[in-house]
Amino acid sequence: MKELKLHYHKLKSENRLFGLKKPVIAITGGIATGKSSVTELLRAKGLGIIDADKLVKSIYQTREAEEYIKKNIPEAFSEAGIDFRRLRELFFESPEIKKSIEEFIYPNLRDAFLKEASAMNQQNFYIYDVPLLFERGIDLKVDVIIVVYAPRDIQIERVVQRDQCSRDLAEKILTEQIDIELKKTKGDFVIHNVGSKNELAVEVDKLLLQLLS
């Protein structure tokens, strides 16, 4: 079993996210800083990870989500179902739509998290990949914070390339998140993702030596 060193068991369960008994390592950063690359390396080492984005996607796959979007945000719904590209644009363009989506998603996130967490018995801690850790105040409810870092200009370039979106939309997305330079100062550990995959792998290995016994 993979074990987190006792030094990093910082919180009591009543103060931890969802009242969890095991400690939580949060991996965060900004959009396109490379969290997925880091979690891929961790999974390759046999570590279980709960991915907030995947939990949200699973919520969107429900009949309840379809009905909610059809009723409340019809411009992002078609005969084929939810138009996620349009929904994303609307989310960052309209504060009202953003609020409506969050009011639907976040109450359902707890159950989705706990369902996945209940199947994780191979380690005495959870790893939670959560982009909006600081924005949602979750940073106060986890034991260890790892920030995956890349400068803002690199973030924008990666978003435009990856999502085939405009630079304007990429910048709007970034303004919805706390600046990566500030996040960098709030982490217990920082992984710099500005070089090669091999360099990133070396950083991850060094971090695991510090955290795990």
Residue 90 confidence (pLDDT)? 94
For 21-48+125-206, CATH number? 3.40.50.300
Q: Which pTM value belongs to this model? A: 0.89
The DSSP annotation for 17-68 comes to: GGG-SS-EEEEEE-TTSSHHHHHHHHHHTT---EEHHHHHHHHHTSHHHHHH
Residue in the structure block whose two tokens are 């969107």: 60
Write the pLDDT tens digit of every residue in 109-123. Answer: 999 999 999 999 889
**What does the mean pLDDT of the chain come to?**
95
Write the pLDDT tens digit of every residue in 47-93. Answer: 999 999 999 999 999 999 999 999 999 999 998 999 999 998 999 89
Distance CA(27)–CA(187), nearest Å, equals: 9
Residue extents of the structural domains in the chain: 21-48+125-206, 53-119
